[in-house]
Structure formats: C-alpha cells, structure tokens
Structure 1
Amino acid sequence: MTPSRPSRLTRAAGRPTRAALGAAVAAVLVATLAGCGDSGDLRAAGATPTAVGPTKLWPEVPPASTPALDYGEADTETVKGITAPGDDIHRVDPVAVVRAEVAAHPDEYTGPHAMYAQTVDQLTYCGKKGAQGRRCPILQAYYRDLTGDGKDDLVLGIRFPKGQLGVRVYTFTHHKLVQVMGTSDSVVSVELAGRDVIIRSPSTLPGYEFRTVWTWDPHQHAMLATRDEILRVGTAPPTTAIPTLSPSASAS
C-alpha cells in the first residue's frame, strides 16, 4: 500500500539566478559595443574540445536476470464500498475513503502494533468545526485530471504521526474507486504541475532536499515515481514541518 522510497541516485544541476543571467547579458552588451568599428572578419574561437562518449565499466559482468528491488513497481488498490453517481469523484467523501483504507489495513491502523493508531483516533474530529475540526488528519481535497482521461482525479493528504504525510491519488476505473498512488514521507511541500505530483522531502544532508515526481503510467495503470532527485537548496538545515498542499494546485 505504501511503497518504500526509491534509491536517491539522480543529481540535478541548479539553474542560473536572475542576477547571474543579468550579469551575463550585460557582459555580452559591453563586448558588442566595444566591437563597434570592427571589420567583421571571422576569428578563431580556439580549439574545440573532443567529444567523449560513455565508457562502459566492467564489461565482463553479465547482465542481471532478476529485477533490482521494487523501483517503479505499481501499487494500486480498489477502495471497497465507495461509489459515486456517474463516477463523479467530486461527490466522494474523503473521510469515507480514508476510513475504507483503515478498514482494509487493520495491522497499520488498529492492530496492537499499529503505526497509525493516533490517526484513527483523530478521525473522530473530522466534520467538526473550530479547534476540534482542525485536528482532523485529512487535509483539503484537491482535484486534477492526472490520468489523462478528461475527468478529475482525487488527491488526498493524510497527517500521520512523527511528522509524516500520506499522499494518495484516486480515480474511477470501471465504476470502482481505485487508489493509483500511495506514499508516506516527511514532506516539505506537495505540488501539482500539469499531470504530475511533485513531492519535496527533507534530507539528512544540510542544504539538500529530495524531489520525487509521480506521473501516470498508462501501461501500469498507476502513478509511478518517474523522477527522483537530490537538489541543492541552500545552507540552512532542512525543515520537517508538514504543510498543506501547495496553493498553486488548482482546486475545483
């Protein structure tokens, strides 16, 4: 139900800042003005570096015959007992969806060693107003067509103990509500960008964070972690605060 974090292997180079770009443009302008009155003849730009292709390491090692770990493995589940007229996901009760998840996974939520027993207790505050209502662990629901079928899908955030946030995506398939993405992690932010779900998580390495991009895969019929990066974000230690879903996401 909750896939483990894939290996963090991809590094991404930082983009130039506006100040750096402005300095570069200014340098080009100065060089252009200084060249006024030039004859315009072609000049050599110096030696061109030789292109270096990839070098295969340890060619004597035979290709693996078994898959490595579970990276990219689809993890979907039909939500029992949840329907909506016309498969309109806007008419699905998020609290009922989470309660169905609780019922389907008693070891995680209600068993003697349940990790999320506190979350189950907090479900009693859902639907109430004021301070009690704010203790409900289910965050605001967001809607976006993530599967590309022209219909909105449901994105839910669930607060878990120890600063964890569960992120779930649901869609209707053959008149059944199906969870097509389920992950839990310490989270800096969650964003919807186009048809991607982007989750930024703190790193134990100060000044860096993880960014995982989840994208719909029509072959697996699930949201897969298609890009997993470690990014330089500054020098301050990472935060473990759990925010709400990004306001930049479009809610219906």
Structure 2
Amino acid sequence: MSTGPAGTSYADPAETPYAGAAPTAPTGPVRSPRPPRQGARRRFLLAALLPLTVLPGAALCLSGCGSPAEVRSAGPTVTASAPARLWPERKAATVPAAPHVEPNADPVPGVATVASGNIRDVRPLDVVKAEVKASAGQVSGADALDEETRRRIGRCTADASGAPAAGCPLRPAQYHDLTGDGRDDLILGIDLSGEFGAQLSLRAYTLDHGRLTRILSTVVTPLSIEVAGRDLIVREPTVQAGYETRSIFGWDEDQRALAFRGDEVRKVGPSPSSGTTAGGPPEPVPTAPPSPGRRSPAPVPVGVGAGR
C-alpha cells in the first residue's frame, strides 16, 4: 500500500492515479471533509437572522405606528351595481331625436375648383360673398345671416393677402387639419350685427377633389373657440352665473362633415348665492336635455376669441 497526495492511501503503488485516470477506492483512512471557512459561516448566520430583524419593523408599520409612512384605509369601497332602467314597459321610440346641429357637406356655389389642392389659395372673403349671394333672402338654416350683416359683408374689401379690411364682420381665416388627411382646412367666423351682436356664425370648409365644400355651419355665442387635435371646441356662457358649456364638433367619416359630439356644463366660478370661491379645474355637471330643434349652448377651440 502506498500513500498518495493529501494523505490518500492505495492498495498498490501501481494503482497510483495518473492524469486522466480515476483513483481506486481507498483502503486506508480517508480524510474528513474540510470544515467551512469562518467567513462563510458568518454570512450564513447573517442571512438567517436578517428576517428576524426586518419583520418586527414591518409588523410595526402594518399595525399603525403613527409614522408618516403608516398604512391608512381609503375608506369603504363603493359597491358596483348595474344600471336601473326606468319604465321598462314604455315602448321604445322610433322617431330620431332632434339633432343639436345637422351635419352638412355642401359644395360652395360660385367658387371655382382649386387646381392646386391647397385651400389657402381660396380667398375667404370670396367664399362668404358667394354664400351670401346664393342664399339671398334666407332667414333660417345654415346660411342664415341677419340683413345688417349681409350688407356689411357686401361692403367688405380685402387686402392683397386676402385678409378682410377693418370694419368687416368676417374674422381672419384660421387653418387647421379637421378631417385627418394631413392638409389644412379653412375655419371662418362672421360676427353678427344688432341684437345678435354677441353671436358668431361659425363655418368650416375642406377641399373634396379640389371642390370647396362646407363641412360645418352653426351659430354660437362663444367665450372662446379652439382646435384641440382635430376637434373644434366652443365654450359659451350659460344663464346661470359660475357655469359655462363646452361643445365639441369632430369629423365624421361617414357623413363627410363635422358632427356635433356632445356638450357639458362646467362649473368655472362661484355661484352668487354660495359666496364660495371655486378652486381647481372646472367641474362637469349634468347637462339638461336640449329643447326640441334647438342646440344647447356649446364651446369650440380654434384659437380665436369672440370679442371684437
């Protein structure tokens, strides 16, 4: 028997292991495994004790210790419930509700086809004068204007750039993409006269294969008119102090026009009877149903105010 490296014993010197050969089973005393080093034992003890040091602190926070980071209840959860239908026995209506604004897509008469495909090549004053001429005598509908405004439009002139001269009720043209085709559309505002002086005839146009087409015509009493994305938004005052309405018009691909998407009444200031000051963003409140055939007041964004 011979002794190999590290005290390992072998039955015969010829069986001494060499590179690439597995040693035979030892017949003499075998060396016991080396005990773990002191540093490894210390890390093991620390890992075992760590949860015991952390858990009491976590339990203290969960039990409510009064610290800024303590867990607090958000209050009782509101129970979800399905809508309760009123008068289910009543027969459902088959007659459509009166629209707030009837979407319309009408080619403008008397305006030549725009060969360039750029709506900025159209002179805004020529557009309005063509519409006034085509709707002479019309006192209601999308083209309706009071007689004084019609006369003032007839006397309007424009400079070389096409901008209306001072005193013309036609406001400077605004250009935004309302239809989503990546091209500018035209937005016009006409200040009405006399008893209608607070109102604005709001109109929008696009080019359809080079043909100028009106895609919106309505009358508003705006606090402001804006464009947000491709939506036209109008803010208007209400009869109740401290509240205003906000109406949205958006492109309807099927009707090829700007359709009324809805409105809401928003609280924007203190009510005279409350004596309190409103804080934070305006609060939406439920909108009363509009009267048949009449659109309730609404707001529109285009970057132009209603003031003269």
Q: TM-score, normalised by structure 2?
A: 0.59
8 Å contact 1:108–1:117 — kept in the other structure?
no
**Aligned partner (choices 80, 88, 91) of residue 62 of structure 1:** 91
For 1:234, the equivalent position in structure 2 comes to 269
Alignment map for 1:168-207 (pairs within 5 Å): 168-207=203-242
How many residues align structurally?
201
State the alpha-carbon separation in 2 of the partners of residues 115 and 96 from structure 1: 16
Change over 3 Å in CA distance of 1:138–1:236 after alignment to 2? farther
**Structure 2 CA distance for aligned equivalents of residues 176 and 234 of structure 1:** 45
Distance (Å, rounded) in 1 between the aligned partners of 2:165 and 2:116: 30
Alignment-derived partner of residue 52 in structure 1:
81
The aligned amino acid for 2:168 is C
C-alpha separation between the residues in 1 aligned to 2:145 and 2:204?
21
| CA-based RMSD | 2.8
Q: Which residue of 1 aligns with 2:158?
A: 127
- Residue identity in the other structure for 2:214: Q
State how far apart, in whole Å, the 2-side matches of 1:60 and 1:215 are.
36
The Cα offsets for residues 119-175 of structure 1, whole Å up to 9 and x where unpaired, read as: 12222133269xx93211111111111101111100111111222101111001132
1:233–1:97: structure 2 CA closer, same or farther, 3 Å change rule? same
Unaligned runs of 5+ in 1: 1-35, 238-243
In structure 2, the residue matched to 1:208 is 243
- Structure 2 segments unaligned to the other structure (5+ residues): 1-56, 64-70, 273-300
User: Which residue in the other structure is 2:177 paired with?
Assistant: 145
Q: Distance in 1 between matches of 2:60 and 2:256?
A: 63
Q: Secondary structure at the match of 1:181?
A: strand
In structure 1, C-alpha distance between the alignment counterparts of 2:99 and 2:304, rounded to whole Å: 32
Counterpart-to-counterpart distance in 2, 1:64 and 1:136: 47
Please point out which of 71, 78, 100 is paired with 2:130: 100
Alignment CA distance shift 1:245-1:197 (3 Å):
closer
Q: Deviations over 1:193-234 (max 9, x none)?
A: 110111111111111111111100101111011021111111
8 Å Cα contact 1:157-1:245 kept in structure 2: no
* Percent sequence identity over aligned pairs: 36
Give the greater-gyration-radius structure (CA). Answer: 2
With the length of structure 1 as denominator, give the TM-score of the two structures: 0.71
